[in-house]
Structure 1
Amino acid sequence: MNKMTVISEIDDLLETYCDGCFIKRELKLNGGKTMAHRFCINSCTVGDQLQFLGQELNKVKMK
């Protein structure tokens, strides 16, 4: 994967799934920003994919 491909995939995921996410919005209202962020990192499948793409981006930058 090249850098631009990874960045494009990250951007697509964020626009498609994260912008306007009902779960994130409700958690932010009821539990705060930290709780919503923790959910996205630990429990959300989109968050898992974003973490994977971030690791791929780090690999590309290290080369």
Structure 2
Amino acid sequence: MEEKTLIKINQLEEKYCHGCLLKKLNREEGTRASAHKFCITECSVGLKIRSHGNQLQ
């Protein structure tokens, strides 16, 4: 189960997060922490990744 969850997380990150313009813009206008906060609280892909991550606990 954990391995499948990690694969899903990696696939989402590779497909949507690498090269994300919103992530880049948030980093330029704020800090890495503020960009991360945006990703895990407002971005639909980030929320999905976070949901999968919660299953690992």
Deviation sequence 1:4-57 (CA, Å, 0-9, x none): 110100000110011110000011011121221111011011111011101112
Task: Indicate the residue corresponding to 2:31 in structure 1.
Answer: 32
- Matched residues in 2 for 1:40 and 1:13: separation? 13
- Matched residues in 2 for 1:55 and 1:35: separation? 21
TM-score (norm. length: structure 2): 0.90
Partner amino acid for 2:39?
C
Q: Unaligned stretches of 5+ in structure 2?
A: none
Fraction of identical pairs, as percent: 33
Partner amino acid for 2:37?
R
Partner amino acid for 1:5?
K
Larger Rg: 1
Q: Unaligned stretches of 5+ in structure 1?
A: 59-63
- Matched residues in 2 for 1:49 and 1:24: separation? 16
Poorly superposed stretches of 4+, deviation over 4 Å: none
TM-score (norm. length: structure 1): 0.82
**Where does 1:1-63 land on structure 2 (aligned, <5 Å)?**
2-58=1-57
SS in 2 for 1:20: coil
Count, aligned residues: 57
